[in-house]
């Protein structure tokens, strides 16, 4: 069955150059649920005289958006976990109820589709049942996306150490009452899955979905403090061997930054580069503790690594102004492009921002442990806070743009809806 859709304007993106255009008077031809042609409406109507077009004179038709960093449907906050600092937040999640992953993934997929998102980078965390059946939890998510028909990149976060604190978890035993030792040890045992099993799950899923037209399987080092040197090296080797991209959290709190100091010393970038993780296959899904060397939000000089690795290694930084200082562009890839590595970010929770990340060098510099408001007035603030979660006060410090008088969360002039040059 052939359908013709004629909106007011059509937004298209070149799958090679990512160049975005917004053109009026265009029509889109859909055959069997697949977009087969975008051309001037007059030409389309002439070639298909027997098809009655669907006209939407007040609508702009765009490619499907990409959610490049996604975890769950029901949020921990909805499940009763306070939105506190990351370390205590993770510990508090142990008390929330176990969810049916198919229902949770279905709920999140419906929410995304209603928001225009048709492609998702699903980075699956850990659940209480994972240790007993790791494959089942992964398959539940993949099967749900497959049945719904969303494009997706799936990865299971790999972690093999420091599950609750930035040190050996057993060191907590000395701080707990003796009567809680057995219970705590059993809880830790339920969280741990050998590294070989985690990488084996990737190999199994990657082979199983190699020919899937909609779903791909990627790698996800959970975070620097959660992965040992052995895990980083094996993940880097596996990524290089298979050509599969990686999606990683990094330096989300000042305590993680302090841990990285203890483990990597001054040469943070070189440490990651030697492990094989830092490459053009790596996407930093969230890295609020990373900032460019020109940042003015630190109380002490920003430390950078002057090694060859720092000058030559690049990775993608994806994030909204709420959490990172990366500078995105304002485009999204074509909906018809299969996601080899999804790099378009969205933030619906706080600022509604969405934008495509740019490949950029990242300085892994530590932030100040003290939280403070910006010393600059809103009209002169250099940018969003470099570290920590956004607060109501810090959001007010976002800069005004030259193209509109209201406070706005536009990252660049080209992405400002009030800018004459924006589409």
- For the stretch 247-273, pLDDT in tens is 999 989 999 999 999 999 878 888 989
Whole-angstrom distance, CA of residue 26 vs CA of residue 44: 9
Q: Which ranges constitute the DSSP H helices of 93-179?
A: 101-114, 134-148
Q: 88-102, 208-222, 366-380: which has the minimum mean pLDDT?
A: 366-380
Q: Answer whether 329's CB lies under 8 Å from 415's CB.
A: yes
CA angle 203, 208, 210 (to 5 degrees): 95
pLDDT value of position 286: 85
Give the closest residue to 341 by CA, choosing from 283, 285, 287: 283
Cα 254 to Cα 252: distance, rounded to the nearest angstrom: 7
In whole angstroms, what is the distance from residue 263 CA to residue 232 CA?
Answer: 13
Separation of alpha carbons 268 and 305, rounded Å:
7
CATH for 2-61, options being 3.50.70.10, 3.90.1170.50, 3.20.20.60, 2.30.40.10? 2.30.40.10
* Structural tokens at position 290: 């990373």
pLDDT averaged over the chain? 75
Which among 405, 415, 347 is positioned nearest to 379, based on CA atoms?
Answer: 405
The answer to whether 115 and 348 are in contact (CB under 8 A) is yes
Predicted confidence (pLDDT) at residue 27 exceeds the cutoff of 80:
yes
pLDDT at residue number 417:
44
Q: What's the pLDDT tens digit per position in 214-241?
A: 999 999 999 999 999 999 999 999 999 9
C-alpha angle with apex 112: 107 to 114, nearest 5 degrees? 95
- The rounded distance, in Å, linking the Cα atoms of 224 and 237 is 16
* pLDDT (tens digit per residue) in 158-196: 999 998 888 888 888 888 999 999 988 888 888 889 999
The helix/strand count (H/E) of the chain reads as 11, 16
Angle at 263 between CA 258 and CA 266, to 5 degrees: 75
* Mean pLDDT in residue range 14-41: 93
Q: Which pLDDT belongs to residue 371?
A: 34
Q: What is the spatial distance between Cα 187 and Cα 357, in angstroms, rounded to a whole number?
A: 38
Mean pLDDT (whole number) for 290-304: 41
Rounded to two decimals, the pTM is: 0.70
4 band by pLDDT with thresholds 50, 70 and 90? very high
How far is 356 from 405, CA to CA, in rounded Å? 25
Predicted local distance difference test score (pLDDT) of residue 130: 67
In 3D, which of 354, 221, 344, 198 has the Cα closest to residue 282? 221
| pLDDT tens per residue, range 316-342 | 555 443 433 333 333 333 333 333 333
387 contacts 367 by C-beta, under 8 angstroms:
yes
Confidence at residue 316, expressed as pLDDT on a 0 to 100 scale:
57
Among all chains, which residue has been given the structure tokens 């709920």?
Answer: 107
Q: What whole-number distance in Å separates Cα of residue 393 and Cα of residue 391?
A: 5
pLDDT(352) > 90 = no
CA distance 248 to 253: 14
What is the rounded distance in angstroms from the CA atom of residue 166 to the CA atom of residue 80?
Answer: 25
Residue 110 has pLDDT above 70, yes or no: yes
**pLDDT, position 21:** 94
Q: Rounded to an integer, what distance in angstroms lies between the CA atom of residue 355 and that of residue 331?
A: 6
Taking residues 288-296, what's their average pLDDT? 51
- 358 versus 209: the higher-pLDDT residue is 209
* Res 363 pLDDT > 70: no
Place of tokens 């059946």: 133
Assign 348 a pLDDT band (cuts: 50, 70, 90). very low
Residue 222 near residue 156 (C-beta atoms within 8 A): no
Q: 225 by DSSP, 3-state: which? A: coil
* pLDDT at residue 113 greater than cutoff 80: yes
Topology (CATH level 3) of domain 65-360: TIM Barrel (3.20.20)
Q: Which residues, in sequence order, are CB contacts of 188 under 8 Å at separation 6+?
A: 163, 164, 169, 170
What is each CA distance from 166 to 187, 248, 287, in whole angstroms? 17, 17, 17
Q: At which residue do the structure tokens 């030559």 appear?
A: 312
Structural domain spans, the chain: 2-61, 65-360
Residue 127 CB neighbour total at 10 angstroms: 16
**What is the rounded average pLDDT of the residues 64-82?**
93
Judged against a pLDDT cut of 80, whether residue 367 lies above it is answered with: no
pLDDT at residue 408 is higher than 80:
no
Per-residue pLDDT at 314: 53
The pLDDT of 188-216, averaged and rounded, is: 94
The pLDDT, as a whole number, for residue 266 is 79
Residue 154 pLDDT > 50 = yes
């Amino acid at each position: 069955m052939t359908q013709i859709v004629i909106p007011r304007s059509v937004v298209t993106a070149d799958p090679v150059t990512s160049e975005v255009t917004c053109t009026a008077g265009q029509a889109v031809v859909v055959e069997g649920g697949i977009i087969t042609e975008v051309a001037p409406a007059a030409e389309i109507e002439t070639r298909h005289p027997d098809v009655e077009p669907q006209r939407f004179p007040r609508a702009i038709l765009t490619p499907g958006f990409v959610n490049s960093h996604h975890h769950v449907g029901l949020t921990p906050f909805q499940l009763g976990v306070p939105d506190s600092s990351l370390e205590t937040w993770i510990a508090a999640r142990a008390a929330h109820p176990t969810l049916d992953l198919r229902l949770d993934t279905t709920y999140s997929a419906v929410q995304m589709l209603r928001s225009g998102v048709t492609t998702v980078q699903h980075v699956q965390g850990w659940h209480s049942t994972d240790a007993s059946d790791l494959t089942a939890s992964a398959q539940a998510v993949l099967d749900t996306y497959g049945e719904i028909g969303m494009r997706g990149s799936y990865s299971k976060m790999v972690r093999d150490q420091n599950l609750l604190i930035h040190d050996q978890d057993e060191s907590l035993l000395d701080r707990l009452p003796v009567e809680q030792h057995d219970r705590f040890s059993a809880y830790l045992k339920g969280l741990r899955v050998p590294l070989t099993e985690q990488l084996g799950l990737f190999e199994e899923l990657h082979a199983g979905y190699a020919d899937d037209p909609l779903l791909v399987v990627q790698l996800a080092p959970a975070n620097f403090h959660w992965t040992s040197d052995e895990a980083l090296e094996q993940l880097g080797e596996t990524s290089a061997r298979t050509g599969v991209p990686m999606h990683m959290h990094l330096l989300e709190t000042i305590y993680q930054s302090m841990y990285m100091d203890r483990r990597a010393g001054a040469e943070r970038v070189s440490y990651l580069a030697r492990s094989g993780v830092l490459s053009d296959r790596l996407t930093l899904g969230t890295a609020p503790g990373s900032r460019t060397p020109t940042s003015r939000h630190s109380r002490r000089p920003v430390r950078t690594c002057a090694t060859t690795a720092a000058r030559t290694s690049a990775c993608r930084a994806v994030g909204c102004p709420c959490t990172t200082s990366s500078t995105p562009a304002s485009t999204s890839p074509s909906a018809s492009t299969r996601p080899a590595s999804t790099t378009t970010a969205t933030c619906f929770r706080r600022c509604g921002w969405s934008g495509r990340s740019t490949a950029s060098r990242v300085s892994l510099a530590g932030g100040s442990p003290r939280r403070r408001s910006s010393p600059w007035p809103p009209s002169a603030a250099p940018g969003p806070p470099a570290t920590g979660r956004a607060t109501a006060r810090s959001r007010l410090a976002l800069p005004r743009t030259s193209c509109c008088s209201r406070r706005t969360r536009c990252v660049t002039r080209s992405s400002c809806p009030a800018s004459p040059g924006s589409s």
